[in-house]
Structure 1
């Protein structure tokens, strides 16, 4: 049994509700950040205008918006959680290492710290999986009952 399966087994035996609450809060936070990303049209237009490759920047903006909106809801529900997180991780890696690396952890604008904490939380939930109170877990239980 590999390490991820051991983590899943421990999690299903102990049912930590705090874990699932954290996953739901993370998903809703990512969804909220997607909404604010779309709502800031002036900042989005400035990013695209300042880019040397405007078509690529436009495509990345659509990817970020879609990944945050759809992925945030999927993470909050616990539905295909690892896949949804896998689509989020490149966005957060870009935010941490490329978009705001000049800001310090304790700067006036806490975007770097927020991005870093969100990235670490995504990695944590990627390893841990959906949790007990999730749609994925309900599907697994229904599959076992059908057999």
Structure 2
């Protein structure tokens, strides 16, 4: 647990300010994708059936939609941001390596989904390392906890 605490402390103290805006955009995009997947669940089920996993298809499709709809707003607001990003990791790793990579880097028919998936994956990794930032619920909660500890 000390390694995680050290990583959090380092990430919080070395965080560039523009990442707050990127976090909001990332959260909005993930929420949008979750809503899109819910309204197009059949297409998502067909995509996930090709993964040759034991529980593919319907189960993965529902996990993806639920995780995006829950995790997107959490990332957007900066609420338990690292946890919300970790929940998204398997989805984006699958999107990059199992779904979009076989289609190619410049697949115009897929609207360059691979590049977008890579950017989202790198964004998630960034927020796992650096945290939610100054303008987030996580930061407010952290300040309140520190004030409470200093008071006692």
Common fold: TM-score over 0.5: yes
CA drift of 1:6 comes to 1.7
CA drift of 1:46 comes to 3.1
Equivalent-residue separation in structure 2 for 1:2 and 1:48 (angstroms): 37
User: In the alignment, which residue of structure 2 is the partner of 1:125?
Assistant: 127
CA drift of 1:41 comes to 3.5
| Paired residue secondary structure (2:133) | coil
| Paired residue secondary structure (1:102) | helix
CA contact (8 A) 2:24 2:76 kept: yes
Q: C-alpha offsets along residues 100-139 of structure 1, whole Å, 9 cap, x if unaligned?
A: 2222222202111111111111111111111011001101
Q: C-alpha offsets along residues 68-104 of structure 1, whole Å, 9 cap, x if unaligned?
A: 0010000000000000000001000001111122222
Q: 5+ unaligned residues in a row in structure 1: which ranges? A: none
Please give the TM-score of this superposition, normalised by the length of structure 1: 0.85
User: In the alignment, which residue of structure 1 is the partner of 2:66?
Assistant: 66
User: In the alignment, which residue of structure 2 is the partner of 1:91?
Assistant: 91
Please give the TM-score of this superposition, normalised by the length of structure 2: 0.82
Report which stretch shifted further, 79-88 or 108-117: 108-117
Alignment partner for residue 9 of structure 1, among 7, 13, 16?
Answer: 13
| Paired residue secondary structure (1:130) | coil
CA contact (8 A) 2:77 2:137 kept: yes
Report which stretch shifted further, 54-63 or 100-109: 54-63
| Paired residue secondary structure (2:132) | coil
Q: 5+ unaligned residues in a row in structure 2: which ranges? A: none
Q: How many residues align?
A: 143
Distance 1:143 1:101, change over 3 A: same
